[in-house]
Amino acid sequence: MKIRYQLSVAIAGASALVLTTHISTAQAFSVFFGEDLNVGGNGNTPLSSFPNSSQAEADFISKLKGVGTEDFEGFNANQKPPLNLTFPGAGTATLSGAGSINTGSSNESTDGAYPISGNQNYLTFVGDGGFTANLDQPVAAFGFYLTDLSDLVGTQLNLELGFSNGTTKNLVVPNTISPRPGSGSVVYYGVIADNPSEVFTNVSFTFANNGNENEGVGMDDITIGSLEQVENVPEPLTILGSATALGIGGLLKKESSKKQKKS
C-alpha cells in the first residue's frame, strides 16, 4: 500500500497545538484525517474551534452527495445501545456494544469528551470493550468525529471493516499519542471505498490498551454514504452499457454506409 502524507503544524493560542494530517491511499480506500490538539488543555474547557478536523470533514463530505449526518440529538440522555441510526440513501446503522448517550453542551464536557454539535454525543470508555456499527446494506463511506481520544499516551482507535464475503480490513486512526496532547483534543476520520468491490457491511471499534480503562472517548456527527452517493466511482453496469451502445452504434453506421454505397 502506498501512503502519501502532507503534514503541517501551527500554534493556536498559548496552550493549543493544531496538527493536521491528510492521508490518501493508493489502494482500496481514500482516508480523510484531521486533528486539533489541546496541549495541556483542561478537559472542562473544550476547544473553541477545530479547523483541521472540520476541514477533514468538509473534504470527506465533498466527495459525497445527498448524505445525512447523525448528531445524536434525537436520543434520550443516558440511552444505551442498541441505537438505530438512519441515513438517507444509505440505510440504517445499528450501534451495539458499550457506550451511552452523553448530554452536555459543546461548552461543557465529560472529562474532555464533549459534543461537536448540539448538546449530545455518544460516550464510551476504553476499557468497555468497544462497539460495532452493523449496516443493513453495504456502504462505501463512513466518517465521524472523536473527542478526547488523545488524552493519554497510547490511546488509539482500531477500526475493522467487515465485508459481505466474510473478509475484513483493519485500519488505525493515526492520532497523536506522544507527547501527551491534552484533554479535549478533536479528531475527524473518514474512509471512502475507491471501487465497488470494497463496500462494507459493518465497522467494529476497539481501543488499543493504554493502561487506563476509565478513559472516556466521545463520538459525534457520523456521516454514512452508499456507493451511489460517492462522486466519480465507476459503475460497471453503466460503463458496460455505454460501451455496448457505442459498439452497436458503430455497427449500425457501418451497415448504413454499406447500403448507401450499394445504392
Query: How confident is the model over 75-131, as pLDDT tens digits?
Result: 999 999 999 999 999 999 999 998 999 997 666 666 788 999 999 999 998 888 889
Residue 249, phi then psi, degrees to nearest 5: -60, -40
Collapsed DSSP state (helix, strand, coil) of residue 236: helix
17 with 45, same domain: the answer is: yes
250 with 169, same domain: the answer is: no
CA dihedral over 22, 114, 14, 179, signed as positive or negative: negative
Confidence at residue 148, expressed as pLDDT on a 0 to 100 scale: 86
pLDDT digits (tens, 9 = 90+) for 199-208: 999 999 998 7
All three cell numbers of 126? 476504553
181 with 254, same domain: the answer is: no
pLDDT digits (tens, 9 = 90+) for 24-33: 543 579 999 9
Q: Is the pLDDT reported for residue 11 higher than 80?
A: no
239 pLDDT tier (thresholds 50, 70, 90): very low
Range from 44-53, 77-86, 139-148, 194-203 carrying the lowest mean pLDDT: 44-53
153 pLDDT tier (thresholds 50, 70, 90): low
Confidence at residue 200, expressed as pLDDT on a 0 to 100 scale: 97
192 with 258, same domain: the answer is: no
Q: What's the rounded Cα separation, in Å, for the pair 73 and 111?
A: 20
Confidence at residue 233, expressed as pLDDT on a 0 to 100 scale: 65
Residue found under cell 457506550: 99
Q: What's the rounded Cα separation, in Å, for the pair 199 and 216?
A: 30
How many other CB atoms are found less than 10 A from the CB of residue 224?
A: 28
Confidence at residue 15, expressed as pLDDT on a 0 to 100 scale: 40
133 with 260, same domain: the answer is: no
121 with 141, same domain: the answer is: yes
Report how many domains make up the chain.
Answer: 2
Q: How large is the average pLDDT for residues 168-185?
A: 83
31 versus 262: which is more confidently predicted? Answer: 31
133 with 189, same domain: the answer is: yes
76 with 117, same domain: the answer is: yes
Q: Is the pLDDT reported for residue 255 higher than 50?
A: no
Cis check for the bond before 174: say yes or no (omega within 30 of 0): no
10 with 74, same domain: the answer is: yes
Residue found under cell 489541546: 38
CATH of the domain at 58: 2.60.120
Q: Is the pLDDT reported for residue 259 higher than 90?
A: no
148 with 250, same domain: the answer is: no
Q: Which of 77-91, 171-185, 221-235 has the highest average model confidence (pLDDT)?
A: 77-91
Q: What's the rounded Cα separation, in Å, for the pair 123 and 110?
A: 9
First to last CA, the chain: 61
Range of the domain at 134: 3-232
Range from 5-9, 203-207, 254-258 carrying the lowest mean pLDDT: 5-9
256 with 185, same domain: the answer is: no
Q: Checking DSSP bridges between strand 168-172 and strand 131-139, what pairing results, if any? A: unpaired
Confidence at residue 183, expressed as pLDDT on a 0 to 100 scale: 79
Q: What's the rounded Cα separation, in Å, for the pair 61 and 53?
A: 12
Q: How large is the average pLDDT for residues 169-189?
A: 85
Cβ-count burial of 118 within 10 angstroms (0-12 exposed, 13-18 middle, 19+ buried)? middle
248 with 147, same domain: the answer is: no
Q: Is the pLDDT reported for residue 181 higher than 80?
A: no
